[in-house]
Structure 1
Amino acid sequence: MLKNILYATDLGLFGPFILEHVCELATKHNARVTVIHAVEPVSVFAGALLETYVPKEDKAALKLHGYEAVMTTIRARVRQAFEEDFIDMRASRDCIQDVLVLDGEAGEVILETARSIDADIIVMGSHGGHSDHNTAIGSVASKVLQLSHIPIYLVPTLAAGARSIPQPLRKTRI
């Protein structure tokens, strides 16, 4: 029986489609849903720019105060975007317990969050919004599949580029 569902999203085009699957599972099993969105760390290039052009005292202040302020803004915007763009039906609103935005590499954030909330299943798309659709599955989905100790419900977002718009939801049996 499913009690805790973790929905990992990149907030991309297929998010609402995947959310349909999430809410169907949640409703069927009377489960709680936690949504996770990972914000990737600053790139090496951006870090090098900061090192080169930002004075030492400003870097210290930025690390101390700026980073958390930026993350707070990102979290607020992600929650707002999720509410506005993803949850357009009442059933979806009712199935979501919490929306988390954490910084770090997406695969690691998903796996750690799954452990911390004691998730029974992770639901995610096969490819992210910026993925190379010529691969069977995207890099984040691949990492989570390889390292997870709990079941993964992987929603196909593109069949090797064969279609560009997701098909209507097919009811699941789990």
Structure 2
Amino acid sequence: MYNTILVPVDGSPTSGSAVAEAGKLALMCSAHVHLLHVLDMTAYTNGFEQAEVYFRDIKPHAIKAAEDMLARSRSLLEASNVVVDTDLRENLDGRVASVIVERAASLGADVIVMGTHGRRGFERMMMGSDAELVARTSPVPVLLVKQKQ
């Protein structure tokens, strides 16, 4: 049914729920899980840092945090005997959703499993929804997972 499952992760509890769900699906289908983190440096900066500080301190710290988060998710899946690899991409000029959809297509993913924060109203209008944009533009099915209560 599914051979390659793409799982975008951001370290949130909702993302953790998506990883767990993808692990179950991978075991049922004997599928390979591809964990993806899209590093959006705008979350780490305010735009007023000196370039040397950004490249010496801020960016390496962000990359290390992203690598650690991917390693934790990978370990959880490997503990369940799921075949998994990781991918860290930097978002340079667009929405995170666009990077996710592009990676799904280039990997030949059969399905994307990702968490949704369930934002509504004003918060959704202001922040947007990467999960919704992925679901609308993905070339493959998308399984949206809510955080476990």
TM-score, structure 1 normalization: 0.65
Map 1:27-42 to 2 at 5 A. Answer: 27-42=27-42
Mark the structure with the bigger radius of gyration: 1
Q: Is the 8 A contact 1:10 1:37 kept in 2?
A: yes
Does the Cα contact within 8 Å between 2:5 and 2:34 map onto a contact in 1?
yes
* Aligned counterparts, 1:1-174, within 5 A: 1-42=1-42, 46-47=46-47, 49-50=48-49, 54=50, 59=51, 69-70=60-61, 72-83=63-74, 87=76, 90-91=79-80, 94-104=81-91, 105-127=95-117, 132-133=119-120, 139-157=129-147, 166=148
Q: Is the 8 A contact 1:6 1:33 kept in 2?
A: yes
The one-letter code of the counterpart of 1:28 is: M
1:46-92 per-residue CA deviation (whole Å, 9 max, x = no partner) reads 22x13xxx3xxxx3x678777874564244322344356xx18821x
In structure 2, C-alpha distance between the alignment counterparts of 1:80 and 1:6, rounded to whole Å: 16
CA shift at 1:132, angstroms?
A: 3.0
CA RMSD of aligned residues (A): 2.9
CA positional deviation for 1:126:
2.2
**Does the 8 Å CA contact 2:74/2:86 hold for their aligned counterparts?**
no
Please, what TM-score do these two structures have when normalized by structure 2? Answer: 0.74
Runs of 4+ more than 2 Å apart: 14-20, 61-84, 131-135
Identity %: 23
| Structure 1 residues not aligned, in runs of 5+ | 158-165, 168-174
Which protein is richer in strand relative to its size?
2
Question: In 1, are the aligned partners of 2:35 and 2:74 still within 8 Å (CA)?
Answer: no
